Chains A and B, each alone.
Chain A
Amino acid sequence: MYRPNNMEVFKNTPAWATNWRTGMWAYVFHRISGYALVFYIFLHISIIATSAIMGPETFDAVMEYLHSPLFLILDILLVAAVVYHGLNGIRLILFDFGIGIYHQKQLFWAAIILTVIAVVAAFVLVSPAIFGH
């Protein structure tokens, strides 16, 4: 009897998408942004809560430090992850209601385009702070 090995068991399952088409990329980006965001939110809670508990002077110093160009640019990456994850999440909820499944590719591209627009808008809005230093 043919027995698939451990690697083959996972192929083309949510554990390991393999078909290399639009839906796979929607899924891969959702998962990567999900990993990034879950890591970020606990870092965020830790830093904000710790500095707030330590008092106004510490909090203000931390906020001043985080207002540097490097962190403002990292914030834009955060916008990319959040906007894509949120829009693709809405896409997935629509599918749960049976809406838009046959337009899943167009909805993926709509999510990508809106994410790009949000990133450009964020960059334009925050550029005075980035280049003002």
Chain B
Amino acid sequence: MHKTQGGWAWFLHRVAGIGLVFALGIHFWVTHYASPTEVITFGSVNIRLQSLLFIVVDWTLLSLGIFHGLNGLRNIIFDYSISEKAKQRVTWGLVIFGVTFFIYGAYGLFAFMQIKGY
């Protein structure tokens, strides 16, 4: 249907989607539903991010979430017949937006992770 959409974007969209199903399952359960009356604190996130499981889950969510979300947006935009040049601009715009947000989100995660004994 869309030659320019790319086999890799198509493939990675699905791989990221599967990864997000698992990572979001853990994320939702632990942060919201395992103990819903408890309010999340900086300290509780700090402790959680000392276990390898949640380091993997949180970095997975940040990277796959940004990729899957923006690539999905790209798929929607490409459903409308825009020129090849416009498609390239859209792609680069989304890449820059995504990388910027990844760096910002990484700063956020590091903020939780740097003070070990908070």
Q: Which residues does A use to contact B, with CB under 8 Å?
A: 9-10, 13-15, 31, 34-35, 37-38, 41-42, 45-46, 48-50, 52-53, 55-56, 59-60, 63-64, 67, 72, 75, 79, 82, 86, 89-90, 93, 96, 122, 125-126, 128-129, 132
Contacts and interface: CB of A to CB of B under 8 A. Distances in A.
Contacts of A72: 36
A75 B27 CA distance: 13
Contacts of B45: 52, 59
A42 B20 CA distance: 15
A60 B37 CA distance: 15
A24 B70 CA distance: 23
Which label, helix, strand, loop or mixed, suits the secondary structure of the A interface?
A: helix
Contacts of B33: 122, 125-126
27 contacts: A9-B81, A13-B79, A35-B76, A38-B69, A45-B66, A48-B108, A49-B107, A49-B108, A49-B109, A50-B108, A52-B111, A56-B118, A59-B45, A60-B42, A63-B39, A63-B40, A63-B41, A67-B40, A72-B36, A86-B17, A86-B21, A89-B14, A89-B17, A93-B14, A93-B17, A128-B36, A128-B37
Interface residues of B, number: 38
Contacts, number: 92
Which label, helix, strand, loop or mixed, suits the secondary structure of the B interface?
A: helix
B33 to A, nearest CB: 5
A126 B62 CA distance: 25
A63 B41 CA distance: 7
A124 to B, nearest CB: 10
B92 interface: no
Contacts of B62: 45
